């Protein structure tokens, strides 16, 4: 069976740097694939076109795949839930499954490049399907996230915004603040999704950012941001999503 080398492209710093490394070192590279949940921030969609052009200049296609039917936000709204940091169904259904469906349609073995940096080595995992082998060139080269930023700048590319859904439960406090200040319309949509959940207020989209606080919702966070007041006292915790498909 023939082998196709595919970059799982998340649209963030790690995967842009890995794209550059693969091309710079002339490693086997047949295609990049991006799974679109429909909920990325506008900056990520804009960067996708930058990456598409960069890849096209090297004659590498960028394929965008997505789950059929409703977007992730619409699906969560309809079910009256939001993406779960525990069950991680959004990553499974809207990232991993569409990518694997694309791979199966190619009917070849896939060597999949995943953009996990050296300082996130705990996020490595084996492929759970026999037609895909995961490869980690950033880890093989011990390239950290800081190295990735440098690689992107040396290549003359702009540094991408963090890639993840605007309503991601793994958003850090800084990411929520950035969204509030840069895309207040999307922040309002995230509030609406949180408050539409049948599990609200016992579960909130801020649970990961404020692990031990049960009283901080997005609406209360917006009030703090609007006042310019101090953030709630407990340290914010940022946990990375489960795989390389999100946040890379």
The upper half-sphere exposure of residue 29, i.e. CA atoms within 13 Å in the direction of its Cβ, equals 25
Task: Provide the token pair at 3.
Answer: 């082998």
Residue 170 CB, shortest distance to ligand SF4, in Å, is 6
Q: Which of 95, 87, 70 is nearest to 199 (CA)?
A: 87
Residue 12 within binding range of ligand SF4, rule CB under 6 A: no
Residue 95 within binding range of ligand SF4, rule CB under 6 A: yes
Residue 11 within binding range of ligand SF4, rule CB under 6 A: no
Residue 208 within binding range of ligand SF4, rule CB under 6 A: no
The strand pairing partners of 64, in sequence order, are: 34
**Residue among 94 and 136 whose Cβ is closer to ligand SF4:** 94
Residue 73 within binding range of ligand SF4, rule CB under 6 A: no
Coil/strand/helix, residue 196: helix
**Cα(42)–Cα(239) distance, integer angstroms:** 23
CB 116 within 8 A of CB 14: yes
Looking only at residues 126 through 165 of this chain, which bind ligand SF4 when binding is defined by CB under 6 A?
164-165
Residue 244 within binding range of ligand SF4, rule CB under 6 A: no
Residue 227 CB, shortest distance to ligand SF4, in Å, is 28
Residue 170 within binding range of ligand SF4, rule CB under 6 A: yes
CB 162 within 8 A of CB 244: no
Task: Provide the token pair at 180.
Answer: 């509030």
Only one of the segments 24-32, 87-95, 141-149, 195-203 lies at the binding site for ligand SF4 (rule: CB under 6 A); that segment is: 87-95
CB 11 within 8 A of CB 34: yes
Residue 245 CB, shortest distance to ligand SF4, in Å, is 7
C-alpha angle with apex 199: 195 to 205, nearest 5 degrees?
60
**Residue among 75 and 111 whose Cβ is closer to ligand SF4:** 75
Residue 204 within binding range of ligand SF4, rule CB under 6 A: no
CB 205 within 8 A of CB 212: no
Residue 203 within binding range of ligand SF4, rule CB under 6 A: no
Residue 229 CB, shortest distance to ligand SF4, in Å, is 27
CB 143 within 8 A of CB 19: no
Task: Provide the token pair at 56.
Answer: 């096209």
Looking only at residues 213 through 242 of this chain, which bind ligand SF4 when binding is defined by CB under 6 A?
241
Only one of the segments 26-34, 86-94, 106-114, 215-223 lies at the binding site for ligand SF4 (rule: CB under 6 A); that segment is: 86-94
Looking only at residues 21 through 50 of this chain, which bind ligand SF4 when binding is defined by CB under 6 A?
37
The strand pairing partners of 134, in sequence order, are: 112
**Which residues in this chain contact ligand SF4 in the complex, by CB under 6 A?**
37, 83, 90-91, 94-95, 164-165, 168, 170, 241, 246
């Amino acid at each position: 069976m023939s082998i196709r080398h595919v970059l799982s492209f998340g649209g963030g710093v790690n995967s842009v740097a890995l794209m550059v490394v693969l091309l710079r070192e002339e490693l086997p590279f047949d295609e990049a694939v991006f799974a679109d949940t429909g909920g990325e921030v506008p900056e990520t969609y804009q960067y996708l076109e930058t990456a598409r052009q960069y890849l096209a200049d090297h004659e590498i296609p960028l394929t965008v795949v997505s789950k059929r039917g409703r977007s992730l936000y619409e699906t969560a709204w309809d079910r009256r839930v939001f993406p779960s940091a525990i069950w991680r169904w959004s990553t499974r259904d809207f990232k991993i499954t569409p990518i694997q469906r694309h791979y199966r349609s190619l009917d070849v073995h896939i060597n999949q490049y995943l953009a996990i940096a050296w300082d996130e080595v705990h996020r490595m995992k084996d492929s759970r399907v026999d037609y895909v082998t995961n490869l980690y060139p950033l880890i093989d080269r011990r390239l950290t996230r800081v190295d990735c930023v440098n690689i992107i700048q040396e290549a003359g590319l702009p540094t991408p915004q963090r890639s993840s859904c605007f309503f991601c439960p793994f958003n850090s406090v800084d990411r929520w603040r950035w969204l509030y200040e840069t895309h207040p319309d999307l922040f309002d949509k995230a509030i609406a999704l949180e408050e539409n959940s049948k599990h609200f207020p016992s579960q909130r989209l801020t649970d990961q950012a404020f692990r031990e606080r049960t009283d901080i919702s997005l609406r209360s966070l917006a009030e703090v941001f609007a006042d310019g007041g101090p953030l709630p006292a407990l340290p914010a915790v940022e946990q990375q999503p489960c795989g390389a498909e999100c946040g890379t």
